[in-house]
Each structure stands twice: as structure tokens, then as C-alpha cells.
Amino acid sequence: MTFRCKISTEKIKRLRFKKREYRHNFLKALSMNALLGSELKDPLLEKMNLRQGSCVRIKNRCIITNRAKSVIRFFRLSRIQLREHARNGMLLGVKRSSW
């Protein structure tokens, strides 16, 4: 799988999740309702368990190198890029520690 292909599949996964997030949360709230019987909850749970738009499938990736492992969420950078940018002073409020 090429670099461009990985980016496009991640974008598709994020768009799919964004599109189905409201519906998923609505179904989840209905399934947690204590007033509904099990004959009404079972179809809701089946619809909710479809993994097509699941947020679990979304992978955090570095915005510069597209690296999938060891990505710091706050900066959306991999540890390697974070170190490099911090050393060059490109990240505001981040500096090397020394004691």
C-alpha cells in the first residue's frame, strides 16, 4: 500500500465515522433506555454493532510523515517529528527538559 493510498483510506474512514456518529449515538441512547423492552432493544443493538463507521477503525497518524505508531494526539505528530520540531523551536511552549 502506497503512502497516498493510506492517506485516502484514512480520510474515507474518518468521513464514514463522522457521517454515522449521530445515528450511532442516537441508537446507543435508545438501547440504554430502561423503559424499552428487550424485543425493541435487540434490533437496535444489531444495527449499532455494524462496524462500517466505527471510530475504533480510525488510526491516528502523523500529519507530516503519515507514521501510524507513537503519535502524540495533542500535536498530531510522531515522536520523531515532535522531537525534531521541539529542538528547532517550532512548537510554541515546548522546550527541552534539563535538570
pLDDT, block means (10 residues), the chain with 99 residues: 66 80 78 74 70 64 85 90 90 80
The answer to whether residues 83 and 55 belong to one domain is no
Q: Say which CATH number the domain at 86 has.
A: 4.10.830.10
Q: Is the dihedral of CA 54, 9, 16, 78 positive or negative?
A: positive
At residue 78, the pLDDT reads 92
- Helix, strand and coil content of the chain, in percent to the nearest 5, comes to 55, 5, 45
What is the span of the domain harbouring residue 67?
60-99
The answer to whether residues 7 and 42 belong to one domain is yes
The answer to whether residues 4 and 39 belong to one domain is yes
The answer to whether residues 37 and 74 belong to one domain is no
At residue 49, the pLDDT reads 67
At residue 80, the pLDDT reads 93
Q: Return d(Cα 27, Cα 23) in angstroms, integer.
A: 6
The answer to whether residues 54 and 15 belong to one domain is yes
Q: Which residues contact 65 (CB under 8 A, 6 or more apart)?
A: 78, 80, 81
At residue 14, the pLDDT reads 79
At residue 4, the pLDDT reads 61
At residue 66, the pLDDT reads 82
31 touches 45 (CB < 8 A): yes
